[in-house]
Amino acid sequence: MSLDELAVETCSWAFGNSGTRFKVFAQPGVPRDPYEKLADAAQVHAYTGAAPSVALHIPWDRVDDYAHLARYAGELGLRIGAINSNTFQDDGYRLGSVCHPDPAIRRQAVDHLLECVDIMDATGSPELKLWFADGTNYPGQDDIRARQDRLAEALAEVYGRLGEGQRLLLEYKLFEPSFYTTDVPDWGTAYAHCLKLGPKAQVVVDTGHHAPGVNIEFIVAFLLREGRLGGFDFNSRFYADDDLMVGAADPFQLFRILAEVLREPSGGIAFMLDQCHNIEPKIPGQIRSVLNVQEAAAKVLRIDRAALSAAQREGDVLAANAVLMDAFNTDVRPALAEFRAAKGLDPDPMAAYARSGYFAKICAERVGGAQAGWGA
């Protein structure tokens, strides 16, 4: 794969206000509707040339006419990426959604997921991304096995509704908001459900959703080998699911993960930024994130695979490690600047955006109305 083919999907919620459960800090110029979010996402693509699609989150991005929204995306040079479902913000979901003990709540949750597939049809989105907040907080609270049965039943119904060229991506997360059991806590659980469902079901790996010390590149290698790596939610974490900018906390981990992913043509793997920008400005936060992925990918593409294989075959541990480290330690920034210039882009996307005056424009224009925010 070449750098030209690397596409990183931005997420609509990155452009709205966000924060922690302690405080959401509002920022000026923040979008008030999905159309304004797309306009901001188009800026990220305009300056990086590498962010051509935008993930939506339903209901945060609900509109009356999804085909119209998709056409607007097209006018901006974008397309609609994964549709992220939300089965965690209704009052009914206190004890779960698709795994809830009450069949009426499960019905509500599945209906929402089916609505998301309708939105895929209307927008041309190829992926339904499912993450469930389901789980329990106390031993004995619910039947762990029965919850798996309910999950399987819900997934099967949604899977059956998928059309040609549509995929279901199942995301796992170790904990939160549940703290005792989580119904899809790890890649093994997600993989087992996907296997039962069929080939259109694949696993999403979100960098932030693991216990400290988990070797994510191993998970990626395993799922790729099985043809079940459907997508990646990029972000960084220092402790838990922090959703900070990808490559900020541990650029070496990002490099190691991409070293596995980019071994073969990465077609079919959705690279998405799943991040919120709580204290940093949003559009530059997304631009920087795309650049971080590009930089790590450029290093990975410098791995001398032939030398690596030879060292591995010979059992030369130090030589093999040196091949990887040589690539990681290469300063690819000058080459990336040339790469951008050759594509007619500014070699320094961060500076070009800062100079553009777009931020001042949206601050002046987006006055009144309700700012979009995580959870709204």
Residues near Mn ion (CB under 5 A), total = 3
Residue 327: how many CA atoms within 13 Å on its side-chain side?
23
For 375: left if phi > 0, alpha if psi spans -120 to 50, otherwise beta; the answer is left
Q: Which is nearer to ligand PSV, 14 or 320 (CB)?
A: 14
Query: Which residues between 202 and 241 bind Mn ion (CB under 5 A)?
Result: 206, 233
* Cα dihedral: 322, 323, 325, 330 (round 10): 130
Q: Is 241 in the site for ligand PSV (CB under 6 A)?
A: yes
Min dist CB 224 to Mn ion, Å, is 19
Q: Which two tokens stand for residue 64?
A: 């009356």
User: How many of the other CB atoms lie within 10 Å of CB of 344?
Assistant: 7
* Cα dihedral: 36, 41, 42, 48 (round 10): 160
Query: Which residues between 174 and 233 bind ligand PSV (CB under 6 A)?
Result: 206, 233
Q: Is 295 in the site for ligand PSV (CB under 6 A)?
A: no
Q: Report how far apart, in Å, the C-alpha atoms of 208 and of each of 24, 59, 238, 254, 285 are.
A: 20, 23, 9, 12, 17
Query: Which residues between 49 and 88 bind ligand PSV (CB under 6 A)?
Result: 84
Min dist CB 269 to Mn ion, Å, is 15
In angstroms, rounded to a whole number, what is the distance separating the alpha carbons of residues 142 and 368?
A: 46
In angstroms, rounded to a whole number, what is the distance separating the alpha carbons of residues 7 and 27?
A: 28
Q: Which is nearer to ligand PSV, 10 or 84 (CB)?
A: 84
Q: Of 15, 72, 93, 131, which lies in the binding site for ligand PSV, with binding defined by CB under 6 A? A: 131
Residue 152: how many CA atoms within 13 Å on its side-chain side?
14
**Partner touching 173 among ligand PSV, Mn ion, none, CB below 5 to 8 Å by kind:** ligand PSV
Q: Which is nearer to ligand PSV, 53 or 308 (CB)?
A: 53
Residues near ligand PSV (CB under 6 A), total = 8
Q: Is 9 in the site for Mn ion (CB under 5 A)?
A: no
Q: Is 274 in the site for ligand PSV (CB under 6 A)?
A: yes
Q: Which two tokens stand for residue 109?
A: 């949750």
Min dist CB 360 to ligand PSV, Å, is 29
In angstroms, rounded to a whole number, what is the distance separating the alpha carbons of residues 354 and 79?
A: 25
Q: Which is nearer to ligand PSV, 191 or 328 (CB)?
A: 191
Min dist CB 274 to ligand PSV, Å, is 5
The C-alpha angle with vertex 154 and arms to 69 and 140, in degrees rounded to 5, equals 125
Q: Is 243 in the site for Mn ion (CB under 5 A)?
A: no
Q: Is 127 in the site for ligand PSV (CB under 6 A)?
A: no
Q: Is 274 in the site for Mn ion (CB under 5 A)?
A: yes
Torsion angles phi and psi, residue 230, rounded to 5: -95, -30
Q: Which is nearer to Mn ion, 172 or 359 (CB)?
A: 172
* Cβ-contact 184, 150 below 8 angstroms: no
Min dist CB 206 to Mn ion, Å, is 4
Footprint on this chain of ligand PSV (rule: CB under 6 A): 84, 131, 171, 173, 206, 233, 241, 274
Name the site residues for Mn ion (rule: CB under 5 A).
206, 233, 274
